[in-house]
Amino acid sequence: MKNLIPHFIQQKFLANEWHGNFDACTMFVDMSGFTWLTETLMQQGREGAERLSEILNAIFEPMVGMVYEHGGFIPYFAGDAFIAIFSLEECDCGADEVLALAQRQFELLDEASKGFREFEISIKVGLSCGRVEWGIAGGERKSFYFRGPAIKGCSDSQGLAKQHEIITDRAFTHRLSVSVKLHPLEPAGFFRVEQPIVLPLAQKQTPKPLPPLQRKVAAVFLPEAVLEFNQGGEFRTVVSVFMAFEGVETHELLDQFAHIVLDHIDNFSGYFKEIDFSDKGGVLVAFFGAPVSFENNVERALEFVAAVQEDLLPLQLSGGLNFKAGIGSGIAYTGIVGGKERCQYAAVGNKVNIAARAMMRAGWGEVLVDAEVQKSRHFRFQYKGDMTYKGLKEKIPTYQLVGRNAQRRQNFEGSMVGRQQELQRLANFGMSVFQHAAAGIAYVYGEAGIGKTRLSFELRHQLRRHQQFRWFTCQSDQILRKPFNPFTKFLKGYFEQSSDYTPAENLVYFEKQFEALLNEIINLNHPESDRIKREIIRTKPVLAALVGLKTKNSFWENLDAKGRYQSILAGLTTFFQAEALLQPLVIELEDGHWFDVYSIEFLNEFARRIKDYPVFLLVTSRYDDEGRKLHLFDEAVLQKHGLPQMEVDINILSREALEALATGRLGGTIAPRLIDLLQRTTNGNPFYAEQMLEYFMEAGLLKNGKKGWHVGDKNVGFSDSIQAVLTARIDRLSSLVKETIKAAAVIGREFELPILAEVMKGNEELIRENGNAKTLLKEQVKTAERAQIWQAMNELRYIFRHTLLREAVYDMQLGTRLKEVHRLIAEAIEKLYAGNLEQRYVDLVFHYEQAGVEPKLRSYLLKAADYARAYFQNQQALHFYNKLLLLISHEENPEERAKILLKKGGILELIGQWEECENIYREALSVVQQTANSELSGRVNNMLGHLLILKGNYEEAGEFLETAAAFCGSIHNNRGTSKVFGNLGTLYFRQGKYEEAKLYFIRSIQLAQLYKHSPSNSQIVATLGLTYMNLGKYEDGIRWQQSQLDLCKKVNDRQGMATLYVNMGIVYFEKGDYDDALQCIV
C-alpha cells in the first residue's frame, strides 16, 4: 500500500479527531522547467512517459526522504511543487535546521540532474513559521487540508523568490538562532537568504519507521482506482478543474463546502486531488479522465461544476462564500509522484497549468475554460478573448461558461423518413396559432413505436426556422397515473427541483426561477400583464406545493381539499398564461393515452381560458385497445370557446420509406430481400425496424454483397414477434449488464441510479467486488447506454429509449423475481427519501402491491389515500380506500375497517354521491356495532345523522344524532359532543326551530372552546348568527360572528373568515344596514 495520504491524517482519523492546530516551520519548494520537460517528453509517447516517471522519481525521492528523515511530512504535491511541514511539537527540527534542509534541496537537485542534463530544472524555496490549522472535511468521501499563517507565509515567500533563491518571512527569521545574512525585500516583512552560507545540517539517527497506511482509511479519502493504481506514468487526456474559494473561514463551513464538492466528484466519477491552501489561496483541484476515463469527460467536468454552483448557492447566501473556476482539457502526464514516504496521484502538463491560470484570471462567480472545453454541445459559452497567462508564451483563447444548453432533448440519428406530409400539416397549424395569437389543439395518433416522438422532434425544429417560442413537454406516467403528474413533473424541472437537494435548497432554486418569471412579466407591455402578475403572485404557494415545497403562513395551508383542487387549476392556468404572454407557447402533452383524470380536468379548464393566447397544444397518443382515438379535450368545450383542432394519423412506413430508413442506418444500398425481411417482421413500424437492424449488426449477421446489405445467414431463425427481437438484444449483453437492465425495468421507464444501486446491492457479482461495487454498477449502466438500451437524462437519472424495450425486459422476468425486485425498490425508496415520502406514496403502493407485501401495502394505501383526499384528488383517494377495504375484513379488524369506511363516505358526501355515501355509513355502523368503541360509535352515528340532514330526512337524522350524543357523553368526549351538538343545531335550524337550534349551537361552541381552534367552529358560529337573525336579534348574531371573526384573524383562518363575512353580510342585509352588508361581501 503506497503512502497516498499523510500518516498524520491517518492518525487523526483513527483517533476520531477532525480539526486542530499546532506550531510548525514550513517549506515550499517549487520547480521551474517542469512544464517544458513534460511537453517535450509527451511527444515520445510511452517511452516519454517512462522517461518522465524516472526523472520525477529522481527529483522527488531524495527530497521527500530528506523531509521525513528530519521529522517533517508533506501534505500534498502541487504538480511540480510541494509543501513540507515540521511540527515544533512533534519533532526537534527548528528554524535553523529547516533552513539547512532548504539549502540541501538545491544540492539534491544538482545530484539528480546528472541523469537528465538535456533538461534544465531549477527550484526556489519559501520558508515560514507559525500556526498550522488542519482539518478533515467531507461526508462519505473525505479530504483534508492544512492552512494558517505558516502555510500562507511559506507560499507568499515562494511567490517572491526567483530561481535558486530562498525567501523567508519575518516569523521565520525571528526563530533563527544562527547568524544569517538576510536582504530585506518589498513588501516589508520578507527577506532573501544571501548565498552562499555555511549552515551544516545536523546528522539524524535512523528515522522511526512510518506505520503502514491502512487501506480502509485511505479508501475514505481516495477512489478505488487510485488505491489500485500500480503502473508507471502515462500520457492521457485529462480535464482539469481548479476552483478557488474565499469566505470559508471556519472548519464547519469548510466541512459543508467540501461535503458538497466531494459528493459531486463521486457522482460524476472524477478524482478529487486536494484542498490546497498554498500560493493561490484556497483551491480545490479535481481531474476527469484520470485515473479512469469516460467518453464524456468534458461533460462530466462541466456537469460537476454546474452542480456545485447550484448546491453552493445556500452557502453563498448565508455564509459569504465566493468561488471561481478554471477548466482545461488536453494531454497531461498522469501517475504517482513523490517518494516512498509520501506520494500522490497527480496530473502534470501545460493544459493543467492553463486550467490553474484560468482560475486565477476569472472573476468571483466566473468559470473560464479553454477552447477544447468550449466545444461541448451541452453547455453555452461566451468568448472572452485570447489571454496571456503566466508562464505560457502564446495567448490562449478563453471562454466563460454561461450555463447549460436548455434545449437538451432526445437526439435522433439520420433523417426522418415517410412523414413529410404530416410534418408540414402540423407546422402550418402551429404557425397559424402563432400568427393569430389564438390557441389551437393538434392530436398526433399512432401505435407504439410508429414515430410520434420523432415527428414532434422534427416539428420543433421546423417551427424554429420561422418563429421564436417556448416548448414545454408534459409527459404522463404509464404505470402510476399520479394526479396532475405530467404538470408537476414538468414544474419540478422548470423550477430546478431535485430529490438530491434538501427542502431548503429546493426552495432557493424555486425562488430564483419564480423571481425570474415575475420580473419578465413586470417588464411586459401587455393589457393582461397586470392581472397575470397579481394572479401569479397569489398562486405562488400553489406552484410551490405542486413541486413538493411546504410554505408557511400561506393561504394554501388553510384551504380544504376542494379549495386546494380549485387553486391547482387556477395556479396552473395562470402559470401557462404568463408564459404565453412572454412568448408563443407549445405545450407538448406526451402519451395522452396515459393522462390521469385530474390532468384532463385541468386541460379542459385551461381550454376555457386561452382562446386569445398563442398556445399550441400538441397531444401525442396511441389508440386504445379497440383502435379508437382518445381525446383529452371535451368537444363541447372546444366548440363553445372557438378553439380549432386538427388530427394527424401516423401510419406504417411504406416499403420505400422503410428502405430509406435502412439505407440511412447502414450507409449503403439495401438488398431487396433485406427489405422484404424488415417489412415482414416489423410491419413497417420504424422503431421495430431500428431494433431489428441493431440486432442484425450486433449479431454480425449483415453482409454487404453485390445487391447491397443483406442477412448473410439464410437459415437465421427468429420469431416474427418483435418481442423476441428485443429479448434477443438483451440476451446478447453480459450477465451483469442484463441483470442491471432487468432491475431498472422494474423501477420504471425512468429510473434513478441511487435506487438502482440499492436494488443491486444483493447481486453476487457486485458483492464479490467489495468496495468497487458502485463503480462496477456505473460501468454496467454505461455499457447499457452504449448498447442503446437507455439514455442519460442527467448524471443520476436515465430513461429507457422506448417503452416497448422496457416492457420487453420486464416481461422476460419470472414472477417471483419481479416480486423480489419490487420489494427492494420500495425499501430503497423508503431509505433514500425518508424525509420526503409524501411525494412517493403512490410509488410505494405500486411496488409493495406488486411485491405482495401486505402489511406495507396497507400502510401506504392509507397514507396515499389520505394524501390524495387532502389535495381534493377524490377519485384517487376512493381508489386507494377501496383497495384497502378489500384487504381488511370486518372480522379481522372491525375498528380499522369502520374508520376507512368513514373516510370513504366523507369523500362521497363531499362530491354529492349521497346514496352511495349512506350505504357506506350504514355499513360502517354495522361494523362498529361489533366493537365496544364508544368514540367510534359516536362518530359513525354523527356522520350518518349529518348526511340525513342533507338529504332532508330530519326525523331519522335526529335519532342518530341523539344516539351519537349519548355515546360521546358516556366517555366524556367533549370534542365529539361539540360536533354532535353543532349538527343538532343545524337540524333544528333547517326545521325553523330557532330557539332549540340556538341552544345547541351555544352548547357546541362552549365545548369547542375547551380545545384548539378548528375551522368547523366558524361554520357553527356563522349559522348561530343566522339563527339570531331569524329570531329578530340582529345585534346578538353580529356580536357572536364578530367575536369569532376576531379569533379567526388571530390564527389566520381564512376559510373561517370567508364563511363569517358571508353570513354576517346576510345579517346586516336583513337588518337593513346595506353599507355594512356590502363591506362584508367586498
Which runs of E-coded beta strand occur in 743-824? 750-752, 790-794, 797-800
Instruction: Report if residue 1059 sits inside a domain.
Output: yes
Is residue 569 domain-shared with residue 532, that is, in the same domain? Answer: yes
Is residue 62 domain-shared with residue 170, that is, in the same domain? Answer: yes
Question: In this structure, which long-range contacts are made by residues 507-511, counting pairs with CB atoms below 8 Å and at least 24 apart in sequence?
Answer: 507/544, 507/549, 508/313, 508/314, 508/317, 509/310, 509/313, 510/543, 510/544, 510/547, 510/549
* Mean pLDDT over each residue of the chain, to the nearest integer: 87
Burial 181-203 (b: 16+ CB within 10 A, else e): eeeebeeeebbbbeeeeebeeee
Which runs of E-coded beta strand occur in 801-896? none
pLDDT in tens, 1015-1042: 668 889 999 999 999 999 999 999 999 9
Kindly indicate the confidence band of residue 716, based on its pLDDT and cuts at 50, 70 and 90: low
Is residue 638 domain-shared with residue 660, that is, in the same domain? Answer: no
Which of 609, 628, 649 is where one domain is finished? 649
Res 337: pLDDT: 87
Residues in the chain: 1082
**Strand order through the sheet with 797-800:** 750-752, 797-800, 790-794
In the chain, the number of structural domains is 5
pLDDT in tens, 151-178: 999 999 999 999 889 999 999 999 998 8
Is residue 94 domain-shared with residue 25, that is, in the same domain? Answer: yes
CB atoms within 10 A of CB 662: 25
Is residue 30 domain-shared with residue 122, that is, in the same domain? Answer: yes
CA 480 from chain centre, in angstroms, equals: 20
Res 990: pLDDT: 92
Is residue 676 domain-shared with residue 699, that is, in the same domain? Answer: yes
pLDDT over 70, % of the chain: 91
Q: What is the 3-state secondary structure (H, E, C) of 919-953?
A: HHHHHHHHHHCCCCCHHHHHHHHHHHHHHHHHHCC
Is residue 246 domain-shared with residue 280, that is, in the same domain? Answer: yes
Which of these ranges, 87-91, 687-691, 871-875, has the smallest mean pLDDT? 687-691
SS3 67: helix
pTM of the complete model: 0.51
Res 500: pLDDT: 62
Is residue 102 domain-shared with residue 136, that is, in the same domain? Answer: yes
Which of 630, 649, 668 is where one domain is finished? 649
The CATH code of the domain that includes 1030 is 1.25.40.10
The CATH code of the domain that includes 110 is 3.30.70.1230
Res 717: pLDDT: 46
Q: Is 335 left (phi over 0), alpha (psi -120 to 50) or beta?
A: left
The CATH code of the domain that includes 765 is 1.10.10
How far apart are alpha carbons 549 and 299 in whole angstroms?
Answer: 30
Instruction: Report if residue 254 sits inside a domain.
Output: yes
Instruction: Report if residue 472 sits inside a domain.
Output: yes
The C-alpha torsion from 897 through 900 and 904 to 906, rounded to 10°, is 120
pLDDT in tens, 310-367: 888 878 877 678 999 999 998 788 888 888 999 999 888 888 889 999 999 999 999 9
SS3 146: strand
- Does an H or E element contain 115, and which? none
* DSSP state for residue 274 in the 8-state scheme: E
- Does an H or E element contain 778, and which? helix 773-786
How far apart are alpha carbons 959 and 269 in whole angstroms?
Answer: 71
Instruction: Report if residue 191 sits inside a domain.
Output: yes
Is residue 169 domain-shared with residue 222, that is, in the same domain? Answer: yes
Instruction: Report if residue 848 sits inside a domain.
Output: no
Which of these ranges, 398-402, 562-566, 582-586, has the smallest mean pLDDT? 562-566
Instruction: Report if residue 821 sits inside a domain.
Output: no
Assess whether pLDDT exceeds 70 at residue 205: no
Q: Are 243 and 284 in contact (CB under 8 A)?
A: yes
Kindly indicate the confidence band of residue 133, based on its pLDDT and cuts at 50, 70 and 90: very high
* DSSP state for residue 557 in the 8-state scheme: G
pLDDT in tens, 410-451: 556 677 888 899 999 999 999 999 998 899 999 999 887 788
The x, y and z cell numbers of residue 444, run together, are: 398526433
Is residue 505 domain-shared with residue 636, that is, in the same domain? Answer: yes
Q: Which residue has the cell 400583464?
A: 529
Is residue 185 domain-shared with residue 296, that is, in the same domain? Answer: yes
Res 311: pLDDT: 83
Instruction: Report if residue 440 sits inside a domain.
Output: yes
Assess whether pLDDT exceeds 60 at residue 305: yes
Assess whether pLDDT exceeds 70 at residue 871: yes
Which runs of E-coded beta strand occur in 608-698? 615-621, 645-649
- C-alpha to C-alpha distances, 151 to 11, 162, 169, nearest whole angstrom: 21, 19, 11
Is residue 353 domain-shared with residue 429, that is, in the same domain? Answer: no
pLDDT in tens, 729-763: 676 677 788 888 889 999 988 888 999 988 888 77
Which of 375, 407, 436 is where one domain is finished? 375
Assess whether pLDDT exceeds 60 at residue 720: no
Res 718: pLDDT: 44
Instruction: Report if residue 954 sits inside a domain.
Output: no
CA 619 from chain centre, in angstroms, equals: 27
Domain that holds residue 748: 733-813
How far apart are alpha carbons 153 and 168 in whole angstroms?
Answer: 8
How far apart are alpha carbons 849 and 518 in whole angstroms?
Answer: 43
How far apart are alpha carbons 793 and 1072 in whole angstroms?
Answer: 66
